[in-house]
Structure 1
Amino acid sequence: MQPRPIHVPLLAHTPHGFLGREGGVSTGIHAGLNVGLGSDDDRDAIHENRRRVIDAVTPGRTLVTVHQVHSPDCVVAESWADDARPHADAIVTDNPDFLIGILTADCVPVLFADPGRNIVGAAHAGWKGAITGVTDRTIEAMEKLGARRDCIVAAVGPCIARASYEVDDGFVRRFGEDDPANERFFAEGRRAGHAQFDIEAYVVHRLAIAGLSRIVALGEDTYAQEDRFFSFRRATHRGESGYGRQISVIGVAAV
């Protein structure tokens, strides 16, 4: 079985895909299309999975990823070695030789494109990166390459859903202190002193207030769909020793 990327019509003219765990060669707790260089999975399996990602979206290109650290930092893609990946959580490019990718396992992947100017971006928005502006930084970096904000479109991929994302009151207060209106992204929790966080809706909100008018969210819950997606929180709740990472990728259209 080969990987089957999820495509969105909003990015129809831009090579892209949100990939899950289907179509890979990893086994055990990493079974499937695990592409996480930071995981304890077999190295050969990881590299074969990454090769399959390229073939499934844009054969012949170089896959470029970063060493993700839950920051708001964004970099312009270069052909760096795996052990020299910069610490960042977003990438932008206008280079047709590259396929840029962001790894997730519950956090929010966001793919960006200004199709008319052939400039793309990818962001990993965990809660820390989301609240500190990783999506804003990605848009700004695309503008520096020549993109126009009013022409950028964004697709929000599979991530943990509100029903699966329990947080404590301290977490809720942090978001409320940043903006009292953030209260709307939290629902009553199942336990006292806890709430359910809608991180997908929060990221969509951040994109909208940044000035993007064309945004789509897939509404796919990584935690609840074990056969389709890896999930850090699910693995943690089970006391597993590790977890896989899925990838979301995008590249500029061939010219």
Structure 2
Amino acid sequence: MNRWPAALADLGVPPVEVIRSAALAGLPHGFLGRIGGVSQGAVAGLQVGFNAGDDDVHVAQNRRRALDAVCPGAQLVTVKQVHSSRAETATAPWAEDERPEVDAIVTSTPGLALAIVTADCAPVLLADREAGVIGAAHAGWRGAHGGVLEATVRRMEELGAVAGRIHATIGPCIAQASYEVGYDLREKFDDKDAHFFTLGRPGKWQFDLESYVAARLESRKLGRVEKLGLDTYGDEQRFFSHRRSVHKHEPTYGRQFSIIALPG
């Protein structure tokens, strides 16, 4: 029997915190933060990124802990996230050197756990229960603006999902109060999106990423769009944050998982 989870508990490692969504109730899913992992230092906790300067052994243990907390026995599916507008359909996990450079995954294959890595960007989990189709998207401002959420819905529809039956939840991401941006970003958005920005310091705006992502999803006339309203930047005890690590002059930053699966 594998005894390492009990051994970690003996060393004071807390259980993995799994944040679940009412919109996705009944499906194996979870938005995870930093609570419940074995990494140390600046990335202490449930750090799941292999390119964060962390110990690979710790990352592998954290990924296993995350998967076991959400959907034990499922096969983990990840992609190379590049802030694109592309989505891909998965029928099995890709080999490490064959993972596509996309920012969303969909599947209708039972037993697969789709996982997105974030550190301020918005993770979005989606499902059409009747069709048996799920999706997971990584939506920073660039991907959301470029259409990654619409691409995810289209991929789900190709597998038999119907937009009006899809429920989507936006997980922990940087909140408007924490997200200061400059004119270079503001000018990329049309006037119709002006309400997602509020004036901040001179020459600066505060961008509401979560509401912008919700609006892009709602434009597809989905059955339900849920916002969890959790700020990665503001809650250091629960979440990793790229922007917070930059402001604190830390050498690296942690990444967290959001996972959804179809029962096997």
TM-score range, shorter chain: over 0.9
The answer on whether the counterparts of 2:134 and 2:261 sit within 8 Å (CA) in structure 1 is yes
Aligned length: 250
Q: 2:17 matched to 1:4?
A: yes
1:39-118 equivalent positions in 2, closer than 5 A: 39-77=52-90, 78-118=92-132
TM-score by length of 2: 0.93
Deviation per CA, 1:47-85: give whole Å up to 9, x if none.
Answer: 100001111011111111111000011111231123332
Contact 2:111/2:263 (8 A) holds in 1: no
Q: How many Å apart are 1:162 and its aligned residue?
A: 0.3
Q: Which whole-Å CA distance do the structure 2 matches of 1:110 and 1:204 have between them?
A: 10
Instruction: Provide the residue aligned with 2:150 in structure 1.
Output: 136
- Map 1:225-244 to 2 at 5 A: 225-244=235-254
Residue 40 of structure 2 corresponds to: 27
- Matched with 1:250 is 260
1:127 maps to what in 2?
Answer: 141
Cα RMSD over matched residues? 0.9
Percent identity over the alignment? 50
Cα deviation, 1:134-185, whole Å, max 9, x if unaligned, reads 0000000001111111110100000000000000122111112xxx210000
In the alignment, the residues of structure 2 paired with residue 240 and residue 69 of structure 1 have an alpha-carbon distance, to the nearest angstrom, of 23
CA contact (8 A) 2:163 2:223 kept: no
Write out per-residue CA displacement over residues 179-228 of structure 1, whole angstroms, 9 at most, x where no aligned residue: x2100000111x21000000000000000111113110000000000000
Deviation at 1:232, TM superposition (A): 0.2
Give, in whole Å, the separation in 2 of the partners of 1:217 and 1:91. Answer: 20
3-state SS of paired residue (1:247): strand
Note if contact 1:154-1:216 (Cα within 8 Å) is conserved in structure 2. yes
Query: Does structure 2 retain, via aligned residues, the 8 Å contact 1:13–1:253?
Result: no
Provide the rounded CA distance (Å) in 1 between the counterparts of 2:57 and 2:222: 40
